[in-house]
Amino acid sequence: MRLSLRLICALVVVLTLVSLLFSYAQFKGERRGLQQDLQRRAQILADSLQESVEPALEKRSRRTLQQLVERFGNREHLAGIAIYDQQETPVAITSGLRKRFPDGAFAPSKIKTYGRDAREFLWLNSVYLNVHTVPLDTDQGWAGTLVVVHDADYINAQNSKFWKRVSLRVVVEVFLIGITALLIIRWTIEGPAARTLQWIRASRAGKVSSNADLSERDLFMPLRNEVTTLVQSLAAARESAEKEARLREAGESTWTAERLAVHVRSKLNSNRLFVVSNREPYMHSREGKSLKVLIPASGLVTALEPILQACDGTWIAHGSGDADRETVDQNDRLAVPPDEPKYTLRRVWLNKEEEEGYYYGFANEGLWPLCHIAHTRPLFRSLDWKHYVQANRKFAKAVLEEMAGTKQPALLIQDYHFALLPKLIKKERPDARVAIFWHIPWPNPEAFGICPWQRELLDGLLGADLIGFHIQSHCDNFLETVNRALESRVEWEHFSVNREDHVTAVKPFPISVAPNMEPTKQPQDWRLASAEREALLKELGVDALYLGVGVDRVDYTKGILERFLAVERFLERYPSYEGKFTFIQIGAPSRTHIRRYHEFLAEVEAEAERINWRFRSNGWKPIVFRKRHHSHEEISRFYRAADLCLVTSLHDGMNLVAKEFVSSRDDEGGVLMLSRFTGASRELRDALVVNPYDTEEMSEAIHYGLEMDSKERRARMQRMRQTVKEQNIYRWAGTLIAELCQVRLDTGGKKGKANANSAA
């Protein structure tokens, strides 16, 4: 109430002063106008009299002069007229003026008569007058003075009325302003403030977690948005604390985002972390006149954001959004996340030709098929290699600019796009700890030897202090490749390479997904798998009892055609499942302007259509191919509804789809069929592990999975979920950063030396 009173009083005082200021200006204008009007009438009357008075004055006819002044003396607001001779003796004067002012008050010497047509307003005997004097001339020269006197009291009366109106208006305005301000404050400030305060208190007590009951149209909405973020952060912190308490109570040590942040902060000390990847964690696109923030679905963002936020790090990535340039500062930097900035995103710009050669050309038409043994010939073009080198140098320049002024920075490079980057950085900053994680497989030495620039790639990679792969066999292949291609010393007992007095550790770090192990807090909001399945099939217009699902980019390494053939063979061998089993393939188109990918997409569509044409009947078809990008929420529905998830990659570094499926099944149902050529098959041993090239084996695995006893299905899923829970994405990031931070640096030499044996 005190705040409202202060606001109202301040508002009333300010508006009253403003109103009085404008009223005073209006008063001055009106008064000046009345005075000018009166003076104009006096001037006209004086000019009229002058023509008649001057001849009579020359003849010295007092009678005529008296008659003249008496005849004109009855004008509106006219007090009187007087005529004086050269000796200031009254020659003629109106009777009314003589009675009111008998002492000759208007003699020329008593008023300002200097110059022609002198005029002035004055107070005389408590009367406000306007006196207008005009010199009278004859043939002999100046003969006297004509004085016209007007009563100006009516001007003061008008002014008094004006101020009475102003006072009344101000009083009414003050009253209305006060009432209006009070209502506005009550409705838009006090009421919302009271509700917001009540909501904050309830949120602090843990009774509510959102602002769903609050209006979105009041004055406090921006504040509430900020408070909502704060409340959500507090709720997340409270939930994390409770989770940690439960884990300690149960004697478990599951990695969480909070634990990762604390762990990395303790390992890095005051050092900063820099991350390089081709894909950025946040991109901006323009939709009409507005900007939209897009967050690409990526386990990498899930893993690395807590680290960067904990140490105020910097993420360097290719700015690929069509509105990315509009959102950065003059140094191409942007604070992220948008709602609560905690680290820096530095964008690197590549022109269309560079992106085509570096990313689509050398990286995805060369290195990708080279490292994935999927029987697609890699294409190596010298121009693509040139752009790959240029792109790596561009990123190196950006990294070095960001590192400037930072002592002993830590750099984590992501994937096969930046094989040359470790050495470029290490050459300029030998005090930096550099790691690169290779997310795709590393083939045997014979296969990698196909690449014309294998020595340059290996030399660039060995500039790192630590190289990470998903599994040990990829590490072994890398070490064997280095042993054959470069002059170096491979230390097998430490899994490291010593080249030019620089030691590089090579280790496996199996990547994973964020754990989703907590039971739902609102079971009524989650459908049972059968209900979810029924709803999805209804949306798809398919009538079936059993549902299989595959989730992939449309890539020739993912074994999509092989799983279609397995479904076809399954239906051939077990015709009783016709009309009952439908397999849904979620296929996100990828790199479609690369010829092989474009052709493969057409092959997948044709094969699905062929099998459907063979088996479809009465609203049922065996394969539904959904060729578009799906959100994480959409995919989760398919995961939860599926009886069977098929992951049949022909060659894969890890394949997180398998782990995402396991993590999403909090009902502990569903069966995972997993290719033996994925890194995930080393961890998820309770999956039905198959050879994707063996159609008979896969068809039998489909049948076994659908017929599996519910107890066995639950037991298998429980064990796999426990594995994913323990070996989650946060553990991967924490272990990788811990290994990097253990690297001992010796920058005393000219080139700088690094010893990673302690990390081995």
Is 532 found in the same domain as 497? no
pLDDT-derived band at 239 (thresholds 50, 70, 90) equals low
Q: Are residues 566 and 673 in the same domain?
A: yes
Dihedral, CA of residue 263, residue 265, residue 267 and residue 273, to nearest 10: 120
Do 432 and 566 belong to one domain?
Answer: no
Q: Residue type at 691? A: N
**What's the pLDDT band for 749 if we cut at 50, 70, 90?**
very low
Q: 323-354 pLDDT, tens per residue?
A: 999 999 999 999 999 888 889 999 999 999 99
Strand order from edge to edge, sheet including 644-647: 623-627, 581-588, 546-553, 644-647, 671-675, 688-690
Give the strand pairing for 496-499 and 502-508.
antiparallel
Same domain for 601 and 495: no
The answer to whether residues 561 and 604 touch, using CB atoms and an 8 Å cutoff, is yes
Cα distances (Å, whole numbers) of residue 33 to 19, 29, 133: 21, 6, 21
User: Position 606: which residue type?
Assistant: A
Is the pLDDT at 708 greater than 70? The verdict is yes
By the 8 A CB rule, do 437 and 509 touch? yes
Phi, psi of 648 (to 5 degrees): -120, 45
Q: Which residue, among 513, 440, 505, 514, has the nearest Cα to 470 in the 3D structure?
A: 440
Reference 258, options 242, 232, 239, 240; nearest CA is 240
Using 50, 70 and 90 to split pLDDT, how confident is the model at 744? confident
Q: Domain check: are 41 and 143 in the same one?
A: yes
In a domain, 222, yes or no: no
**Residue 128 pLDDT greater than 90, yes or no:** no
Question: What domain range is 19 assigned to?
Answer: 2-157
Closest CA to 532 of 630, 656, 643: 643
Q: Name the residue with higher pLDDT: 190 or 590.
A: 590
CATH of the domain at 137: 3.30.450.20
Six token digits for residue 336 = 């992220």
Instruction: Show the beta-strand stretches assigned E in 415-451.
Output: 433-437
Q: Are 269 and 152 within one domain?
A: no
pTM: 0.69
Structural domain contains residue 194? no
Please give the DSSP secondary-structure letter assigned to residue 367: I
- Mean pLDDT check: name the lowest of 20-29, 182-191, 396-405, 562-571: 182-191
- Domain identity same for 437 and 288: yes
Give the pLDDT score at 50.
Answer: 78
| 741, part of any domain | no
Does one domain contain both 339 and 451?
yes
Full DSSP string of 342-365: -EEEEEE---HHHHIIIIIIIIII
User: What CA–CA distance (Å, rounded) separates 317 from 489?
Assistant: 33
User: Could you tell me if 503 and 577 lie in one domain?
Assistant: no
Collapsing DSSP states into helix, strand and coil, what is residue 312? coil
pLDDT reported for residue 755: 41
Residue 751 is predicted with a pLDDT of 41
| Residue 125 to residue 133: CA distance in whole angstroms | 19
Residue 643's φ and ψ, nearest 5 degrees, are: -80, -30
Three-class SS of residue 591?
Answer: coil
Q: What are phi and psi of 429, to 5 degrees?
A: -130, 75
Q: How many domains does the chain have?
A: 3
| Contacts of the segment 713-717: beta carbons below 8 A, 24+ positions apart | 713/669, 713/670, 713/671, 714/668, 714/669, 715/686, 716/671, 716/686, 716/687, 717/662, 717/665, 717/668, 717/669, 717/670, 717/671, 717/672, 717/686
What mean pLDDT comes out for the span 679-695?
A: 96
Among the listed ranges 264-278, 544-558, 693-707, which one has the minimum average pLDDT value? Answer: 264-278
Q: Which residue has the higher pLDDT, 699 or 375?
A: 699
pLDDT tens digits for range 603-636: 999 999 999 999 988 888 999 999 988 888 889 9
**153 in the same domain as 22:** yes
Give the phi and the psi of residue 419 in degrees, each rounded to 5: -65, -30
Angle at 478 between CA 473 and CA 484, to 5 degrees: 125
What average pLDDT does the segment 43-50 reach? 80
In this prediction, residue 165 carries a pLDDT of 84
- 278 and 440 Cβ atoms separated by less than 8 Å: no
Given the structure tokens 């920058």, which residue do they identify? 747
Residue 14, pLDDT score: 83
Quickly count: other Cβ atoms within 10 Å of residue 286's Cβ: 12
Answer yes or no: are the C-beta atoms of 434 and 425 closer than 8 Å: yes
Mean pLDDT of the residues in the chain: 84
Is pLDDT at 207 greater than 80 in this prediction? no
CA gap 212, 474 in Å, rounded: 50
Helix runs in 213-367, H state only? 221-250, 257-268, 299-311, 324-327, 352-355
Contact 399, 276 (CB under 8 A): yes
Q: β-strand 433-437 against 410-414: which pairing, if any?
A: parallel
Q: What is the mean pLDDT of residues 77-93?
A: 80
pLDDT tens-digit readout, 651-670: 999 999 999 999 999 999 99
Q: How many CA atoms lie within 13 A of 411 on its CB side?
A: 32
C-beta separation of 57 from 68 below 8 A: no
- Rounded CA-CA distance 24/26 in Å is 5
Instruction: Render 663-723 in DSSP notation, one character per residue.
Output: HH-TT---EEEEETTSGGGGT-TTSEEE-TT-HHHHHHHHHHHHH--HHHHHHHHHHHHHH
Could you tell me if 122 and 41 lie in one domain? yes
Handedness of CA 224, 229, 233, 235 (dihedral sign): positive
Domain assignment of residue 98, yes or no: yes
What is the domain-level CATH number for residue 414? 3.40.50.2000
Q: Within this chain, do residues 492 and 539 fall inside the same structural domain, yes or no?
A: no
Residue 279 lies in a domain: yes
